[in-house]
Chain A
Amino acid sequence: MATAVLILDEDRRVEYVNASGEMLFTPIDSIGCTLPALFASCGATGRDDVFASVDAGIDPTTVRVRLTDDRLLDCTLRLLSSGGFVLSMDDVTELVRTAELAQRDALTGLANRASLRDQLVERLQAAGHSKQSVAVLYIDLDRFKAVNDTLGHPIGDILLCKVANRIKSAIREGDIVARLGGDEFAVIQSKATQPQAAKNLAARLVDLIGRAYAVEGQMLHIGVSIGVAFFPNDGHEPDVLFKNADLALYRAKAEGRGCYRFYEPGMDERMQARRALEIDLRRALALKQLEVVYQPQIELATNRIVGFEALIRWRHPERGGVSPADFIPLAEEIGVIVPIGEWVLRTACMQAAAWAEPLSIAVNLSPIQFRGGKLIETVRSALVHSGLPASRLEVEITEGALLDSNDDVLQVLNELRTLGVRISMDDFGTGYSSLSYLQNFPFDKVKIDQSFVRNIDANPERRAIVRAITGLAAALGMKTTAEGVETEAELDCIRSEGCTDVQGYLTGRPQSAESAAALVASLSRTPAASGAAQ
């Protein structure tokens, strides 16, 4: 609609109205009416303000008037030299509504990120004056992606709305809730006694959002991680507070999810260091910084090398050798363990296939590789491409893989077994060591963690544990490999306690593919050679 224009005389009565103006006030004939009367007839609020600046003797400013039908008019008054006024009125209803919509998240109706930031700016100003604390809570759902992926976006969207409602039910009046996008939410809490109020709210949200949902006939379970930063202690600027709340959230995620963490100084540096490591790790495979090395496994009955375990090494040009203990958990967390694990598998199969003797090759599988349903295909493809018989491949899994979702993992293990691949339980004794694992799946071998082997000769308890494991494994028809044997005394001990195989620095260090191949070749030349004598 075009601008409505009214000309008023010095008594503020309407002298002239243009067509737009007539339309605006229809059915009232505005000629001769005073402006306040005209506005009153439309139920306008804020009508006195139009003349306020004139009456105060200052330059007129634009005033927004709301009519009873919720239309919004921006009114600008100009003085005429005759003593009268020109009032121009623009209908800004649509404009304002669109702008309001732009402040909202379309799905949940919560404030969006931009609006949250604007409101935080206001809260910080108010809090700064009154020297009060303001808490920023970053809220991120755990396992939401799985719901979305398996049940579809429509169910995911309903779930997000329920989460939004639960958050709203937990906050106090005056707190601001926003959806930042995806499965991320935020709450701003002001005028509260901090940090207690934020602590209470975060604990309540962890409980509340973690409770089951009934959606479209489905029972859904998700969790939530929360990071909290406080004004003024953790920052004065909105963006600093957001960043620090995010860092604290990151910590909550890293520490097992389903919990909340407050920001602490130093989180930033650790995060930067981690992020740098992450970037390097993502490139490591492409830049050929990874290498597979091979550690001999010796059968105690014959003292012969019967196979090798493939182990990964990362040599970074600046970092030097990075310990697998440092980068494997990160690789699992960011998912690159899948391509890295596949590369190790293919490389190990290829190199073992070229050995002079048909020794076995053991490859570690991460729990993450069991997800996604592609593991069997990958193993089959690695075997076909390398020409390695399945009977020479042994995969090692930790209890972590079995913890995930037992049935799926057991099915994959059974399929591997059907292919002819052997399965070992790695690091036995360090996790839950649930005997039901041994019962539910017939492992070919149990590898006893090195923590039970170290100094076993001087430690009767360790000796008793190893004896128990070997006895159990023997009864179940499984072999036992003692890991991490470093001294002759340890070797004697584990031999007498019934271990069938051994792997450790004493009997053979991890070595390059070339050395391993040469070692295998030397075995075939001297049939009586003793691997353990190395």
Chain B
Amino acid sequence: MTEALHRLVYYSRNRITGTPAALAEAITSILAASQVNNARMDVTGALMFNAGCFAQVLEGPRTAVEEIFERIQQDERHGDVSLLAFDPAPARVFERWSMGFVGASVSDAARYGALAQESGFDPARMTGEALFETLHRLALEEESRSA
């Protein structure tokens, strides 16, 4: 399928309640499931959990991105999903990530996520473009660290 590449950016409020450990487990399971699905559907991207919000970039063939986003919309663990951007993209930026987790580690994000607001980072106040760039920058840092 040679469908035009699209990029979608959204953020949502976390609705998972419980201990940091339970939250970390839930995030890990979301991540694992999306990595399997995304690889199968040729979708790449990055997920961040911060300030009580999920922020995610999805890129891939349009229908695949639409299908995955629809699945996310129906997921009760997300609340107040805000679709910030959905546009054709010239090329993939998260080429190597079926779904990378960027920013703090999962357990740190789960433990300190609620405090991150004080650091001035709040996805709810960012545009799609700015959020996309933040995730991209974090992904690059992640790549250089693991390289």
Contacts and interface: CB of A to CB of B under 8 A. Distances in A.
- The answer to whether A binds B is yes
Nearest to A209: B73
A208 B78 CA distance: 10
A213 B4 CA distance: 18
Contacts of A217: 4, 6, 62, 86, 88
B37 to A, nearest CB: 16
Given A217-B6, A217-B62, A217-B88, A212 B82 contact: yes
A219 B81 contact: no
A162 B6 contact: no
Interface string B1-29: 00010101010000000000000000000
A71 interface: no
Contact of B74 (A169, A215, A216, A218): A169
Interface string A197-226: 000000000011001111111110000000
Contact of B86 (A162, A207, A208, A214): A214
B70 interface: yes
Interface size class of B (residues with CB under 8 A): 10 to 19
Interface string A212-245: 1111111100000000000000000000000000
Contacts of B70: 162, 165, 213-214
Contact of B8 (A169, A211, A214, A216): A214
B88 A212 contact: no
B69 interface: yes
A212 B73 CA distance: 8
A166 interface: yes
Contacts of B81: 211-212
A162 to B, nearest CB: 6
Contacts of B65: 214
A164 to B, nearest CB: 12
Contacts of A162: 70
B57 to A, nearest CB: 13
B65 to A, nearest CB: 7
Contacts of A213: 70, 73
Nearest to A204: B76
A212 B74 contact: no
A218 B65 CA distance: 12
Interface in B72-100: 73-74, 79, 81-83, 86, 88
Contact of A165 (B8, B66, B74, B86): B74
Given A166-B73, A169-B74, A208-B74, A215 B66 contact: yes
Contact of B83 (A165, A166, A207, A212): A212
A212 B8 CA distance: 12
Nearest to A158: B66
A337 to B, nearest CB: 33
A465 B24 CA distance: 54
A216 B69 CA distance: 12
A346 to B, nearest CB: 44
A219 B74 contact: no
A10 to B, nearest CB: 61
B108 to A, nearest CB: 29
Given A212-B83, A214-B83, A217-B86, A166 B69 contact: no
A166 B74 contact: yes
Nearest to B75: A169
Residue among A165, A213, A217 having the largest count of chain B Cβ atoms under 10 Å: A217
A170 B10 CA distance: 22
A215 B67 CA distance: 9
Interface string A142-173: 00000000000000000000100110010000
A212 B128 CA distance: 14
A167 to B, nearest CB: 10
A161 to B, nearest CB: 10
A214 B66 contact: yes
Nearest to B81: A211
Contacts of A211: 73, 81
Contacts of A207: 79
Contacts of A212: 10, 73, 81-83
Interface in B92-117: none
B73 A208 contact: yes
B135 to A, nearest CB: 18
A99 B4 CA distance: 41
Contacts of A165: 70, 74
B13 to A, nearest CB: 11
Interface of B: 4, 6, 8, 10, 62, 65-66, 69-70, 73-74, 79, 81-83, 86, 88
26 contacts: A162-B70, A165-B70, A166-B73, A166-B74, A208-B73, A208-B74, A211-B73, A212-B10, A212-B73, A212-B81, A212-B82, A213-B70, A213-B73, A214-B8, A214-B65, A214-B66, A214-B69, A214-B70, A214-B83, A214-B86, A216-B66, A217-B4, A217-B86, A217-B88, A218-B86, A219-B86
Given A169-B74, A213-B73, A216-B66, 5 more contacts: A165-B74, A207-B79, A212-B73, A214-B65, A214-B66
Interface of A: 162, 165-166, 169, 207-208, 211-219
**6 closest Cβ pairs, A-B complex:** A212-B83, A169-B74, A214-B66, A214-B69, A211-B73, A219-B86
